[in-house]
């Protein structure tokens, strides 16, 4: 199996002068591009610069950047140097950045202009960081400018020998259910993700992947890996809006777009309200829209395919502990099964287990466990959490699901989000999907709040569609179609917060609405 650093080197030889990456920044009207030869050359100069600063195989280098043309060459340069890449969530506070850098013991930190203030707050506490490399044009006290560093770096310095078993990257979980945990991935994990993604979505050399999600997350890169494997180009889009997405697809002739639920929802809403006319864009070449990182409402997919009937569609299930998406996926041929997250991906196995870890029969709800080439090596320096998540090669995902007689997996909810009311288990995703099917609902989240009699009760937080207005509606009576114990005890209107990868931040909602019990409106 070729390592991803070897794939980049091969592409630089075979497709040297072809464009590999395009960066679009619609907010300032800027477009930049990089050939495969230049991509590999920058990566090798980064590796040489790291070596000159004492970075050796097994050391760590952190990346704190928004999506940009520099991001991937830095990532590949770190890997080529034999170091571990440590991508950091660009929404982390200064204290969270400090914790991640302390846990990882990063020796080098690459960071951009957006993070100058946060780094200055914690610089005196970063005892392990020996070199600060600033990815910006202005002077930055206490840091070296990367552009100047790379001028004197070489492209032809051989790096250390790497194998599939070597550690490659340390990713931090998104932290929607608690403090982010560091996930250690190997070069073999990353290479396997290339094969899985390509087998699922059949990328060709002429494809063009529009990359919108943050590159620090496994999902964005691992879907791009399918293009990397065949030397196909990709567009890195800075900023998200329906118009910017359709302009990128149209002007760059994008063929594959991976969306999060809110972005797909926003595109449809913009079209349905007349804010965007799809006929004004060149979209005929767009062949695949796929969604992952969160449960996908079937109603959204039906609306999308009614608007774009020529698109292939796939649902991708994954997690950082499984090297991103692909351990389970719907499959391009199974759009009639929308609602299920699909079957085990290429090279993967899946099963549903009970509390003791034993497999359950089809139809029974339990925890989803997966096994395959992308399973992480460990939670770094956390043996207790590792032992809980990894058992006999199986990764216990923390997601509740069931498998039907045909082998399709149906996600029920996060194990930690299950609401127990009067002894009955309620899975919020079921209610959320039901609410999102209402034409006036843009987004919905269901949380459990304390109740003195029942323990906790379900409460729905709803974002309205633009046309819904602010007046009373029939959502509570609409919920009469649900079994009585599943009906929300209140409909609370407000923002449904999601992290950059689209997952609902339910701890924030529980904190926000913790004191609203007296305002509950009985739902029957």
Residue-wise pLDDT for 14-63, tens only, equals 999 999 999 999 999 999 999 999 999 999 999 999 999 999 999 999 99
Contact between 380 and 103 under an 8 Å Cβ cutoff? The reply is yes
Confidence bin at 219 (pLDDT 50/70/90): confident
Q: For residue 471, what pLDDT is reported?
A: 53
Contact between 492 and 513 under an 8 Å Cβ cutoff? The reply is yes
Of the given ranges (314-323, 388-397, 493-502), which has the lowest mean pLDDT?
Answer: 493-502
Q: What is the CATH number of the domain that holds 489?
A: 3.30.300.30
DSSP string, 454-504: TEEEEEEEEEEPGGG-SS--SHHHHGGGS-GGGS-S-EEES---B-TTS-B
DSSP, collapsed to helix, strand or coil, labels residue 258 as: strand
Q: Is residue 157 part of a domain?
A: no
Confidence bin at 469 (pLDDT 50/70/90): low
pLDDT higher than threshold 90 for residue 422:
no
Nearest to 390, CA basis, from 164, 186, 183, 192 = 183
Residues of the chain with pLDDT > 90, as a percent, come to 70
- Neighbour order of strands in the sheet with 167-172: 144-145, 131-134, 108-111, 60-64, 84-87, 167-172, 182-186, 378-379
Q: What is the pTM of this model?
A: 0.84
Q: Is residue 437 part of a domain?
A: yes
Domain count, the chain: 1
Residue 329 CA to chain centroid, in angstroms?
A: 15
Q: For residue 524, what pLDDT is reported?
A: 34
- CA dist 90 and 65 (Å) reads 7
What's the per-residue H, E or C state across 198-235?
HHHHCCCCCCEEEECCCCCCHHHHHHHHHHHHHCCEEE
Q: For residue 505, what pLDDT is reported?
A: 83
Q: Is residue 493 part of a domain?
A: yes
Q: Is residue 154 part of a domain?
A: no
- CA dist 414 and 429 (Å) reads 9
Residue-wise pLDDT for 75-102, tens only, equals 999 999 999 999 998 888 898 899 999 9
Question: Which residues form the domain of 497?
Answer: 419-519
Average model confidence (pLDDT) across the chain: 91
Q: Is residue 433 part of a domain?
A: yes
Contact between 185 and 376 under an 8 Å Cβ cutoff? The reply is yes
Nearest to 20, CA basis, from 37, 4, 41 = 37
Q: Residue range 466-471: average pLDDT?
A: 70
Q: Residue range 233-257: average pLDDT?
A: 97
Q: Is residue 455 part of a domain?
A: yes
Q: Is residue 270 part of a domain?
A: no
- CA dist 396 and 350 (Å) reads 10
Residue-wise pLDDT for 286-341, tens only, equals 999 999 866 677 888 999 999 999 999 999 999 899 998 899 999 999 999 988 99
Residue 166 CA to chain centroid, in angstroms?
A: 24
Residue-wise pLDDT for 137-174, tens only, equals 999 999 999 999 999 899 998 999 999 999 999 999 86
Q: Is residue 463 part of a domain?
A: yes
């Amino acid at each position: 199996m070729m390592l991803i650093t070897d794939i980049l080197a091969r592409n630089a030889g075979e497709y040297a002068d072809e464009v590999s990456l395009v960066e679009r920044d619609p907010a300032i009207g800027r477009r930049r591009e990089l050939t495969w030869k230049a991509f590999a050359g920058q990566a090798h100069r980064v590796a040489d610069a790291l070596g000159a600063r004492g970075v050796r195989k097994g050391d760590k280098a952190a990346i704190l950047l928004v999506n940009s043309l520099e991001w991937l060459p830095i990532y590949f340069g770190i890997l080529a140097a034999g170091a571990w890449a440590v991508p950091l969530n660009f929404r982390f506070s200064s204290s969270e950045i400090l914790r991640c850098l302390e846990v990882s013991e990063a020796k080098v930190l690459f960071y951009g202009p957006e993070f100058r203030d946060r780094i200055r707050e914690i610089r005196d506490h970063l005892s392990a960081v020996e070199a600060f490399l600033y990815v910006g044009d202005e002077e930055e006290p206490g840091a070296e400018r990367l552009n100047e560093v790379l001028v004197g770096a070489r492209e032809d310095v051989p790096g250390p020998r790497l194998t599939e078993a070597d550690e490659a990257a340390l990713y931090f979980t998104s932290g929607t259910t608690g403090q982010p945990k560091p996930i250690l991935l190997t070069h073999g994990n990353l290479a396997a993700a290339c094969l899985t993604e390509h087998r699922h979505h059949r990328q060709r050399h002429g494809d063009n992947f529009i990359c919108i999600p943050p590159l620090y997350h496994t999902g964005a890169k691992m879907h791009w890996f399918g293009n990397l494997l065949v030397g196909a180009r990709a567009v890195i889009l800075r900023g998200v809006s329906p118009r910017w997405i359709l302009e990128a697809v149209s002007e760059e002739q994008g063929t594959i777009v991976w969306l999060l639920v809110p972005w797909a929802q926003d595109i449809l809403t913009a079209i349905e309200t007349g804010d965007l006319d799809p006929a004004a864009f060149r979209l005929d070449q767009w062949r695949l829209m796929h969604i992952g990182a969160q449960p996908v409402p079937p109603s959204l997919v039906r609306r999308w395919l009614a608007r774009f009937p020529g698109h292939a569609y796939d649902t991708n299930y994954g997690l950082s502990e499984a090297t991103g998406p692909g351990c389970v996926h719907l499959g391009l041929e199974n759009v009639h099964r929308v609602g299920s997250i699909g079957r085990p991906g290429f090279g993967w196995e899946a099963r549903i287990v009970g509390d003791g870890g034993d497999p359950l029969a089809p139809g029974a709800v339990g925890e989803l466990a997966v096994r395959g080439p992308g399973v992480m090596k460990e939670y770094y320096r956390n043996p207790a959490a590792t032992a809980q998540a990894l058992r006999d090669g199986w990764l216990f995902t923390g997601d509740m699901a069931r498998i039907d007689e045909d082998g399709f997996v149906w996600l029920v909810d996060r194990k930690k989000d299950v609401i127990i009311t009067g002894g009955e288990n309620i899975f919020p995703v079921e209610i959320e999907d039901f609410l999102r099917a209402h034409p006036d609902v843009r987004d919905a989240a269901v949380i459990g709040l304390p109740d003195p009699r029942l323990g906790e009760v379900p409460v729905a937080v709803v974002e309205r569609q633009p046309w819904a207005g602010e007046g009373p509606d029939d959502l509570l009576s609409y919920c009469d179609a649900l079994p009585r114990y599943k009906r929300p005890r209140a409909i609370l209107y407000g923002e449904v917060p999601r992290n950059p990868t689209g997952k609902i931040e339910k701890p924030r909602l529980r904190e926000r609405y913790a004191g609203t019990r007296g305002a509950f409106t009985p739902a029957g």
